[in-house]
Each structure stands twice: as structure tokens, then as C-alpha cells.
Structure 1
């Protein structure tokens, strides 16, 4: 890794949007910290793809629903790469059903991963990101569209959008930008929110 190479952490980077973002960041010259919760094989596949294209990547296991694991992950990434410049806060779950049918377990899982997990990562980023860094939170266009069956998922993402705006104000003195990107529910586009 070059001494001046910037470092990006992507949570939930073993598949889906997270994996694609990790690969793109590596293509753009970032050293990428690939976070995964349980699927080490998928995370290693993303790492190998990045390294096959002469990129720099390493995998870091942490369940974002655990504040202790998130804190450990940030410490481990700083030890490996010397610092962190970018957080892509992507890890999340989505179960779709009418609110009347949603179980306590579904609500708890969404709050634990989508809300608490995102807040834990944001808190760690506020403490550890290098000045001039960037934070991008993944939200959803459903926050605005209010589609049926998305109530619990959209509620967690709406909360993160509020936290995004607040943290952006708190980070101004360190020249760290904090934004949310809201991919379309059917993958046909995204909305950028500050």
C-alpha cells in the first residue's frame, strides 16, 4: 500500500451494493476494508477480485449490531492501514411485509442492524476518520415514496437520514462530509441527500 493511499471502509461489503462499491473504490485507487458479518467466503471473493486487478483490500469481520465489534473493527483497520478516510455505511437487512404482520424479531433485527449498527459505525467514524474524510450512508427512496410493506425498513433508514444531516453539521470543523445516498427500490436510480 502506498503511503498516501486513502482508505475506505465499506460495511456489508461481501455482496450486493456493498461489494460493488468496494470494487469501484479499489478501482479508483482506495485501499478497501471489506466488512462482513458471517460470510467470510463471500468477503474473500471480493478481496480476491480486487487484488486480481492490482487493488489493495483486506477483510474485517464484525457484526455492526455490536458496538464492541464495530469499535474493534475500526481499531483493526487503523492498525492495518494506518488510518481511515472514508466510511460507506451500507450493512443492512430488509424484510417486507405489512406492519400488522411484522414480528418483534423482525423489528429488533432491523433496529439492531440498520439503525443501531449504522449509528455505531457513524460514532466510530466521528472518532476515527481522518480530517477531510467522507461518510456516505445508504438509505432508500422508499423513505420518500412510503411504499406498502416497507414500514420497518423505511423507518430505520429515515432515522439514519436525520442522523446524516446532524453529523454533517458536527463534522464541519474537521472538513468531513456526511451524506446519504438513496438507491431506488427497484434498482433504477438513486437520490442524493446532504
Structure 2
């Protein structure tokens, strides 16, 4: 965890996401100089995702083999939240044990920008997917005021990238 810089020291509003590797890619949240987090896939069929930041690490996996729900747990096995995609909707809801509830969706139908929205806080952060960019597929846009208001911001940033990757994989499988 010492290799990552804390989000409290963030001085920019946009963090590009770099893709490393070809056969087993992993993603790095960076500002070009410092690394703020890492997303890797493990397990058969990439069913388990590991998110690492300065604040800790989390494992995201499906609750059951055929279910839609995802669970977030710490490496010790303690479940800290659930992710539930809504049926017939673009919205995905996260409920953390800390009390944070947020919804992840793209506000416009043909938009490449996905937003974490909370009822009390409004827009928390945006994840924008880049077209035809293999090395830098995403840009995470963060409001500097949200860093102090939402302590789970690093988790939400990496989780947003994971959810967009899952949506892209589902769309590719459907076509």
C-alpha cells in the first residue's frame, strides 16, 4: 500500500487510467507522476477483481455463480458492501456498511460518461470511457471538494472503472 499516493494529496481534477499488459491487463489510476490505485483481475474468467489504494484493498466478486449482485469485501473476508444492478435499467446501486449509498449510471443514453450520484451529495465523480484508446481507456474526473466529504472516494473511482469494464464485456458478449 505504500506505493500509492493518498487521495488527500491530489492536486488535479482528472486522473487518467492506464492499461498495462495485453493478455492479463491491469489498470492504474495515475496523474502521470504518482499512482493513486490499481485494479487487477484474478480467477477463472476474470470473475474476481482486486482494488488497491493507499487507503486499503478490496475484493469485488459475484455473490453467486449466476447472480447479478456483486459483493465488496476486504482481504480478510469481511463484507463491506453490495452492488446491485437494477433490472431493465442502466443504474447500478452500491450500499456500503459505512452508510454510503450511491448510484452509478450514464445520465444520457449515448454518453460515454458514467457518474456516481448520491442523494445528499449530488455528483461524486465521473468515469469517462475514451474511444479507440487502448493504452488510456478511461479518465476519472473528481471534484476536489468531494475528497473530504466522501472518504470512500478511492473505492468509488476504481469501482467505477470496474463497472464500466463489466458493461463493456457484457455488450461485447451480446453482439
Length-normalised TM-score, structure 1: 0.25
Q: Structure 1 or 2: larger helix share?
A: 1
Q: Structure 1 or 2: larger strand share?
A: 2
Length-normalised TM-score, structure 2: 0.27
